[in-house]
Amino acid sequence: MGKIENLQVINGEGYQLTTLEKVLGIARSNSVWPLPFATSCCGIEFMATMGSNYDLARFGMERMSFSPRQADLLIVAGTISKKLGPVLKKVYEQMAEPKWVLSVGACASSGGIFDTYSVLQGIDRVIPVDVYVPGCPPRPEQIIDGVMRIHDLVKNEPLRRRYSDEYRHLLSGYNIESNEK
Ligand code: SF4
């Protein structure tokens, strides 16, 4: 038995064996295409995260997608008004499975300091969230940490998860229909 990047393999003479699930997990986690849904100050912090000092390209993530169909990680950074909630949900619904959501900063995660009539008190009121990054604003290092937690989830996700009753139940709680039939 050997280990490459947490990948369990069985080494033989001239061959290595592992599971398709683990290979796909590693491939997916190293080729995430993010869709930045940035509305305010946290969005600026995310731009710094993409820049050369912090460099998201080291994870193969420099290719931002502004088309939901060509993205698998929705990064929500900034204050989301209640009026914008349905737009965010529509973008999420248009993304193909498998997809993940990173909530960046206090506003996206909980409404932050804006406990007002017009601000959504957390995007998890309209879509499921995989990882929350705290802070107002979070530093780029924190955002990168959130991205790495997403990578862990992507790498270790069972292939059948998106077809499971548990996942359908999660989506139905948000009145969202699964793309996977
Ligand atoms: S959490 Fe703070 S920095 Fe981020 S969008 Fe809200 S007010 Fe701005």
Residues spanned by the domain of 91: 33-172
Inter-residue contact 35 to 66 (CB < 8 Å): yes
CATH code for the domain of 80: 3.40.50.12280
Which DSSP state fits 103? E
Q: Are residues 23 and 37 in the same domain?
A: no
User: Which is the closest atom of ligand 1 to the Cα of 42?
Assistant: 4
- Percent of the chain that is helix, strand, coil (3-state, to 5): 40, 20, 40
State the average pLDDT for the chain.
93
Distance 153 CA to ligand 1 centre (A): 25
Q: Are residues 2 and 57 in the same domain?
A: no
User: Which is the closest atom of ligand 1 to the Cα of 137?
Assistant: 3
Return the pLDDT at 8: 72
Q: Are residues 74 and 3 in the same domain?
A: no
Residue 181 domain flag:
no
| Counted domains in the chain | 2
Please name the residue whose Cα sits nearest to atom 3 of ligand 1. 137
pLDDT reading at 19 higher than 60 = yes
For residue range 47-98, what is the model confidence (pLDDT) as tens digits? Answer: 999 999 999 999 989 889 999 999 999 999 999 999 999 999 999 999 999 9
Q: Read off the pTM.
A: 0.92
